C-alpha cells in the first residue's frame, strides 16, 4: 500500500470545511426549552382547555411524570401570569346552517 495514496484518501474526507460538533451542540442548546418553560406551556394549554388545578396536577403527574403541589402550581401560575379567565378559550367551530337550524327548531 502506498503511503502517499492513503494520506490523500484520508484527507479527502476531512479538512477545514468539516462542521464542528460544538456548533451543532450550541444550536441544539439554543433551541432547548427550560423545564420550567415546558411546564408553563403545558399548564397554559390545560387552562385553555378549562381544566381545574386538581385535574392539571393529575395530568402533569400521569402524562408527564411531573409532580407539583397545589400551592406550588398556584404560586407558579401567579408568577407566570396565568389566570383562567385571561387565557383564550379554544376556538369553537361554527355549526353548519342545516345543523344550527335543526337545533333551533327542536
Q: Which of 33, 27, 43 lies closest to 75, judged by CA?
A: 43
Residues of the chain above pLDDT 70, percent: 57
Q: Does an H or E element contain 13, and which?
A: none
Map out the domains of the chain as residue ranges.
31-84
pTM of the model: 0.52
Q: How confident is the model at residue 82 (pLDDT cuts 50, 70, 90)?
A: confident
**pLDDT recorded at residue 90:** 57
For range 33-39, the mean pLDDT: 87
**pLDDT recorded at residue 14:** 54
Average pLDDT, the chain: 75
pLDDT beyond 80 at 26: no
Q: Which residue has the higher pLDDT, 81 or 103?
A: 81
- HSE toward the beta carbon, residue 48, CA cutoff 13 A: 12
Amino acid at each position: 500500500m502506498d503511503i502517499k495514496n492513503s494520506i490523500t484518501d484520508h484527507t479527502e474526507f476531512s479538512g477545514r470545511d468539516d462542521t464542528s460538533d460544538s456548533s451543532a451542540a450550541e444550536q441544539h442548546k439554543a433551541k432547548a426549552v427550560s423545564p420550567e418553560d415546558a411546564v408553563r406551556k403545558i399548564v397554559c394549554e390545560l387552562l385553555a382547555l378549562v381544566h381545574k388545578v386538581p385535574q392539571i396536577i393529575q395530568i402533569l403527574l400521569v402524562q408527564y411524570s411531573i409532580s407539583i403541589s397545589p400551592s406550588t402550581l398556584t404560586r407558579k401560575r401567579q408568577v407566570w401570569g396565568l389566570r383562567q379567565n385571561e387565557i383564550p378559550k379554544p376556538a369553537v367551530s361554527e355549526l353548519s346552517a342545516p345543523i344550527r337550524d335543526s337545533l333551533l327548531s327542536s
